[in-house]
Each structure stands twice: as structure tokens, then as C-alpha cells.
Chain A
Amino acid sequence: MYNYVIKKILFSFLTLLIVVTLVFFMLRAIPGGPFTREKPLPEATRERLEEAYGLNEPLFKQYLIYMGNLFTGDLGPSFRKPAYSVNELLATGIPQTAKVGLIAVILIVILGIPLGVISALKANTSIDYGVMILATVGITVPSFVIGSLFILLAQNVAWIPVGGLTKPISYLGPVVALGGYSLAFVARLTRSSMLEVLRQDYIRTARAKGLSEYKVIFKHALKNSLIPVVTYIGPMIAALMTGSFVVERIFVINGIGKYFTESIGARDYTLVIGVTLFYAIFYIIMVLLVDVAYSLIDPRIRLSK
């Protein structure tokens, strides 16, 4: 298993290198640039600015310089927030985004999985229908609608603040808007996976040999039904922990989610690569952890082949 993990990590670096390279050259290929303005800048001014940011060098040389800096951990200056480096922007934004994302992830796991299990055990009862109707609502209503509803609510209810992360209650809106979909999805996924497992022969065997219902459910059924759920949760954590443009804008959270969209519109080359790289690293780590989790949940899955 250690060999497997080490090999994976080495491959991850290759993946990241490809991601950065692709993003770097694709960004340069799209029209416009960081100094495109509603009122176009005079030619001389634009050239000066491009010179200051090294954009006048041949593209490949720019790439080499960028990669050189990247290996020292320097993500470069932001083009559209001139007083700040990308490192500084990420350092300010990531904690805000991660706070909301982490709470959402915890809620999804401690609510979503049990709800799915209960639903499966009480299949085709009113409890099951109730949970599944809620889950369908959660999946179909987009986050900006949930967000807008919260804003509407906040306008009329004094103790719910409108945006910002000033007090504990202010996390309610962003967490629900951010995690609502995934919570509902995890509940549905757990339910269907659990139902599938409960129909298996070995469950019947377990019951036949007189195991308590508790042991049947938690030792035999749940563990196996968690495999697809863990597969989903890994990348989901990466997505939630890197934030959402919509949720961060509606709730005025100073995180990095908004940079994913803003930086492209602004052609802030370095910031685009910065946030992409951050997401890619997070994603790769989560996928690796999911692989490790598989082998722990189900010993039949071996990593070291």
C-alpha cells in the first residue's frame, strides 16, 4: 500500500504540472488580457504595464519564469488587484471559504448518511417518503435560490444576519446553500446502496445465523454500502472546501470561491492558475484518501497491485 501511495503522489505531481501548463497556455489563447478596459488604455501605457508584469517576453519564456517561481512557492502578483500577490489573496480567502466548507462537509456526513440508512431500513414507509421528498427538493433547488430565500428571510427576521460571517448563526445560510445539494445526494446514494446490500445473500446468512439486527446493519450492511458514498464524498469535499462563486457573493463571504469566476473575466492570469492549482491539489489528495479508505472499508480491495 505504501508503494501505491508513493507512486500515486509522484503521478500527482505530473498531473499538477500538466494542469498548470494547460491553464497557462489556454488563458493566453483567449482574446483580451488583464489590461483590457472599458476605455482602452493608450498603447504606451498598456505596453508599460505589460513590461512591468513581464508580459512583453516571449510566451515560452514567460512560462519558464512562471514555473521557476512556482517551484519556490511564489504564485506571482495579481494583475487586477495590483497591491496584492496571489499568495496573499489565497491566504486571506482560503480560511473564510474553508470554515463554511468544513461545516457543510461535517453536516453532510453526520446527517446525510444516517438519513439514507434510516430511509433504507424503513423503505416504502412514510418516513422513507418524507426523507426522499426532502432529498429531491435538496437536489433540484439550486444554491442561488436557497441563498436568495435566506436573504429574503433575513430581511424579515431580525436574528438572521444578511451575509457576512459575523456570528455563529450567520453560517446557517451559506452552509445550507453550499451543502444542500450534496446532503440530499448523499442521503439518496446511501439509501439506494444500502437497499442493494440488504438484498444480498450474505445479509440473509447473517440474519439466519442469528446475529442481532444491530450487527447485521452496522457490521455487514453499512460498511459495504458506504463504498459508493465515499467515492462521492472525496471529490465533494474538494469542491465544498474550495467554495462557490454564487454562495460567496450572495452571503458576502470574502473567500476564494468568487475568484474562480472573477479572475477569468478579469483575465487575471496568475490568480486563475493559483485557484486552479489549489483546487487540483485538494482534489488529488481527496481522491488518494478515498482510495485508501476503500481498502480500509473493504479488505478485498487491494491497492498494492
Chain B
Amino acid sequence: MKKLLLTFVAIVALFAFAACGGTTTTGGGTTTQAPAAPVVLNWNIGADPLTLDPGLNGASDGGDVINNTFEGLVREKDGEIFPGMAESWEVSSDGLTVTFNIREDAKWSDGSKLDADDFVRSWLRGMDPRNASEYSWIWEYTNVVGADDFVFASTTVDSELDALADAVGIESQDDGATFVVHLVAPTNWFVSLMAFYHFMPVPETASTTGTGAWAKNPTTAISNGPFKLTAYTVGDRLKLEKNEHYWNAEEVGIDVINGFFIDISTTAYARYEAGELDVLPSVPSAMIPGLLVASQEFYVFPLLGTYYINFNLSGNPEIGGSRNVGSRDLSIFYNVNLRYALALSLDREAIVEALGTGAVPAGGFISPGFMDHNGDDFFENTAEDSEIVTDDGAYALAVTYFATAANELFPEASDPVAALRAALASKTYLYNTSDGHRQVGELVQAMWEDNLGFRIQLGNEEWATFQGTRTDGAYDLARGGWLTDFMDPSGMIGIFTQGNAYNDPDYNNPAFEAALEAARTATTAQAHFEALYEAHAIFMGDMPIIPIYHYNDVFLIKAKVQGWSRSVLGSIDFSTAYIQQ
């Protein structure tokens, strides 16, 4: 019996140890209880945001929160610009000076006054290389005098950096009542860009260097938007409460926002169905076709971005750069007729339908939503820049391009088409590991096989590895995707210039770059867009990439939530939202 007792002791010991791990449990998981009376919105943010510091953030989940806790000079809702911290603004006749009049009742959430000095300080902080903001590169597209020199400064000497900061063309005038920005060229998208989170002010307590930890700590997270942060549990949730010092506080119809970090869409969807969540940023893709038809609470928004396939053009004497790709033989992709054949042999409508996400098939690189000087959609005016059609209507044409390419590439061969097919069968289409990318890869593979008679190989790499492979040009064909952050087409095709970190195909065409440069320095909107149309036509004529579809965003929002909006760049806005009982 004594031995039996010992056995039990042994088992109890196992438990006791396990229990040690368990006894600490009561401390961590405390959750904030929402008061009963206030109007509460339960919102699934998705992932736990990397940071909530406007100057440091570079992710859409953080951007969604920041758009509700902070406010820039203006607010953008569905493409329309509304006054924010600036009550009004004027652009000088030469387009080089923009003056923002800061509203008199602009305040921080601690009640202190907010003025143009805050913008000067916050902007310089965003640009400062010592701050290493992940989004500082966007200054390149603002055309602010001196911003480029400061952001991409080669020096690390403090005094030299401070001198560069002083040279940036932004100033606070009239005791902080006006904020004046000097530009190097007229920039038609400048005012709308001011709604973007990177240009929002940060409180004085935000240090120049550091991790932005202040923005997640409720005691230091002073903000200037409709809501303020009052609780944050890493990996779990956050809580926002109405900011009574917000200038437009009476329009804010929600008292408390509980933001959850549920990154698995099926679980989030189940909680939505159970009434525990009111807003979802994504839904399980299998649900989308049904929701599109049946749900009044489901919204699809176009995003300013494109999903495409990169040709590796390194070493191409006509339109390729000099990136070193070692012994990789890419010569067949130098043939423009082959690039046409591959681009035309895809049924984009079938791909989009198979994915079932509501995306728009892409005939060019610019997504819908960019209005030109005449108010026309750039997307529609560029549909004819190539022979790409969105369905399978260009298949026959593709076959003739393929035959032409074969004759050009393998003139000696007895059967040039067979030789080209054999050459392509040894090439690989590379994507980063994900179900959606695999599905596109398999569809592309099947379409090329059906129409052109070769079977491309598919390869996938884990995400972080894939990025390096693509940048280094260690691929034949690779998946690409690009989302832009400001409302001008130059932010999209502008990535395909030599020296740009995102020019994965290593496209190199001086005529294309000259057209982009002309657009950048144009003094009228008309000249700007005409140059961009020209650049896009050159680009599609060269076909360094194969456009597949334009990205979109989906939302599921309970019908009782009214008055919310979304910016064209994709951030959700609850500043005037309310709950209809």
C-alpha cells in the first residue's frame, strides 16, 4: 500500500508542476468590461498592429486604428476631401505653395492646444532618418522642398542632419495658425495625401527615436482624432473611447470601440454571425460568392493596386537592366512577341471568378479609381494600351504571337514551336506560399497549357525567402503585387524605374522614364496626365509584366452601424458613425 501511495505522489508531482504553470493564470487575462450604457462598436481589426504611431506605421491594420484615433490636415472619405485639422486651405496659382489654416478649436485629447508647430515637428520626425520610419520613403512623392534630401540623407552626423531638417520647406506662421508647405513642382494629389496616416501629427511626448511604444500605452497615447486609446492588451484587443476634445465631437456617435485582433477569418465570421462583432475587415473567401448575392451587410471596395506576373528582364539589351542573375538563361523572355503571347493567353475573368473575391480583371497596370484632368477614369482610358482582353477573346491572337516568337527565337529548329514549348517547360513560375497564389499559378499553368501547349513549372517559397529571391532576380517568372498610397497613377507605374526597390522585372526603358519625369515636372494637370498616358502606353507596349487583376477589399458591417466611411486608400473611418437602434 505504501508503494501505491508513492505512485500517487509521483502522479501528483507531475500535476503539481503543471499547476505551477497554471497558478499564474489569474494575472494576465483581465479584460476590460464595456460599461452598459454607452454606444459600443465591436470591431475586428484583424492582426495585432505593429504600431499605432502615425509616423512609424506602415501597415493597413495599424492605419485603420490610427485613422480613428488621429486626424491629419484633411479627412478623405470615399475619395472626397473634408476639412480635418485644417479648416480650409489655399493652393498658390503656380501650384508651389499650399497654405493650411489650422482650426482654432484644434486640440489634443489631453485638452492642450494643437497648432501648426505640431505639424512641423511631426513631419520632421517622420522624415528624420534617425527615426527610421518604415514609411519615410513616401516623402519622395510629396514634392515637399528639401524632404527628399533629409529622408535619404547619406550623412549620420547630427549637426548635418539638423541642417537638412531646417532646409525642409514647411513652416508654421501666425503663431501656429497657418501651416505653409513649399513644393518643388505642382502636385495635384498633395492635399488628398494629407489624409494619409503618415502626415498626421504626433504629440510632443513622442520621442524622435524609439519604437513608438507610447502609442500603445493608454497613459501616453495622446491623440487628436475622434477617439482615444484607453486600453491595449498585446495579442488580444484594444479599446477606444470617444475623445471629448475632438473638434467635431458632437458628430461622433460611438462612445466605445472594442477592437479585436482575430486573424482567422472563419472564427471572426462565426462571432459576427453570433452578434459578438459588428465589423469584419475580411471574410472567409469561400463565403464571398454567397455574401455578394445575399448579404446587405457585405461591401466590396476596389483598392488602388494590381496583382501581376513579373518577367525577369535582367540582361535584356532592349528593355532590361544590368542586375546580375548569374548563369540563368532568360533570353526567351527578351522576345516581345512571346511576352504578348503569354499575356494574351490568360482568361482573367475565369481567374477572378475562381478566386471568388470580387476582384476586377486587369487589362493594364492602373486600377480603377484614378481620375484624370478631365474627370475620366485613367483605368478606362488605358484599356486599349495593349491587346489584352479580360476574357478568352485574345486566345487566337496569342497563338499567332507564339508562332512568331518561336520563329524568331528558334529559326534553325525543324519545329520552332516545339522548341519554344520545350524551352518554356523548363521555366518556373514562382510565388510565395499561399493558397490564393497557388490557385492563380495553377490556373495560369492550365491556360498556357491549353492554349499554347507547354506546361510551365510551379514553384513556391516561404514569404520572407521569396522576397529576397525576387529582388535578386533569381527567378524566371514571379508573382508580383503592388498597392499604392496616393491618388496618382505615377505611384503605380512609377515603381518600374531603374533604381526603384520594387522594380522586380528590372525593366529599363529610357523613353518610359522620360515620360514619367515629364509627368512629375509638368506644371498643368493636363500635361501631367498626358505624360502619364504616354508612359502607360510605352509600358504596356513593352509588357514587362502580365497584369492579372486589380485588388479589392471586402467588409462585413452590421446594418445597424451607419455613417461609417472608407478612404480610397483603404482606411476605415468611424468618425461620424453611429448605431441605429
Interface residues of chain A, those whose CB is within 8 Å of chain B, are 30-33, 36-45, 48-49, 52, 77, 80-84, 88-89, 91-96, 98-99, 101-102, 105-106, 109, 148, 151-152, 154-155, 158, 161-163, 165-166, 218-219, 223, 226, 230, 233-234, 237, 241, 249-252, 254, 258, 265-267, 285-286, 289, 292-293, 296-297, 299
Closest to A246 in B: B264
0/1 string, B207-241, CB within 8 A of A gives 1 = 00101110111000000000000000111100000
Say yes or no: A83 contacts B236, CB within 8 Å.
no
Out of B18, B152, B276, B467, which one reaches A105, CB within 8 Å?
Answer: B18
Q: In the complex the two chains form, what is the Cα distance from A151 to B265 in whole Å?
A: 12
Q: Contact between B136 and A42 (Cβ–Cβ < 8 Å)? A: yes
Provided the pairs A89-B234, A95-B28 are in contact, do residues A39 and B21 lie with their beta carbons within 8 angstroms? no
- State in angstroms the CA–CA spacing of A289 and B267 once bound together: 38
Q: A223's contact among B3, B468, B481, by CB below 8 Å, is which?
A: B3
Task: State in angstroms the CA–CA spacing of A13 and B25 once bound together.
Answer: 27
Chain A residues whose C-beta falls within 8 Å of the C-beta of B211 in the assembled complex: 77, 82-83
- Do B274 and A162 touch across chains, with their CB atoms under 8 A apart? yes
B residues apposed to A, CB below 8 Å: 1, 3-4, 6-7, 9-11, 13-15, 17-19, 21-22, 24-29, 31, 48, 50-51, 58, 129-130, 132-134, 136-137, 151-154, 209, 211-213, 215-217, 233-236, 260, 262-264, 266-267, 270-271, 273-274, 276, 462-465, 467-469, 471, 481, 501-502
Distance, CA A140 to CA B48, complexed state (A): 33
A residues in contact with B273, CB < 8 Å: 155
29 A-B pairs in the complex with CB atoms less than 8 angstroms apart: A31-B468, A32-B464, A32-B467, A36-B464, A40-B502, A41-B134, A42-B152, A44-B153, A45-B134, A48-B130, A49-B132, A82-B211, A82-B212, A83-B234, A89-B234, A94-B21, A94-B24, A95-B28, A99-B29, A102-B18, A154-B270, A158-B274, A163-B262, A233-B14, A237-B14, A258-B235, A293-B11, A293-B13, A296-B6
With most chain A CB atoms within 10 A of its CB, the pick from B4, B48, B273, B274 is: B274
Residues in B neighbouring A266, C-beta threshold 8 A: 464
Known: A80-B50, A81-B234. A249 touches B264 (CB 8 A): yes
Cβ–Cβ contact A82 & B262, under 8 A: no
- A249 and B263 in contact, given A82-B50, A155-B274, A293-B14 (Cβ under 8 angstroms): yes
Distance (Å) between the CB of B25 and the closest chain A CB?
Answer: 4
Determine if A89 and B14 form an interchain contact, defined as CB atoms under 8 angstroms apart: no
B residues in contact with A91, CB < 8 Å: 28
- Give B207 Cβ to nearest chain A Cβ, in Å: 12
4 smallest beta-carbon distances between A and B, as pairs? A32-B464, A48-B132, A83-B213, A82-B211
**Please, which residues of chain B bring their CB within 8 A of the CB of A233?**
14
Q: Interface residues of B: mostly helix, strand, loop or mixed?
A: helix
What CA separation (Å) do A135 and B340 show in the bound complex? 58
B432 CB → nearest A CB, Å: 9
Q: How far is the CB of A98 from chain B (nearest CB, A)?
A: 4
| Contacts A37-B58, A52-B209, A250-B264; A102 near B234 (Cβ below 8 A) | no
Partner of A254, one of B25, B216, B236: B236
Tell whether, in the assembled complex, residue A154 and residue B17 are in contact, meaning their CB atoms are under 8 Å apart. Answer: no
* Cross-chain contact A98 with B21 (CB below 8 angstroms): yes
CB pair B464–A265 under 8 Å, yes or no, is yes
| Measured CA separation A92–B469 after assembly (Å) | 36
Would A52 and B22 count as touching, CB distance under 8 A?
no
Q: A91-B28, A155-B274, A249-B263 are in contact. List 14 more A-B contacts (CB 8 A).
A: A30-B465, A31-B468, A32-B467, A40-B501, A77-B211, A92-B233, A95-B25, A98-B22, A99-B25, A155-B270, A237-B18, A252-B262, A254-B235, A293-B11
Tell me, in angstroms, the Cα distance from A148 to B286 when the chains sit together. 14
Choose one: B6, B58, B132, B267; the contact of A250 (CB below 8 Å).
Answer: B267
**Do A226 and B270 form a contact, CB below 8 Å, given A45-B134, A82-B50, A249-B264?**
no
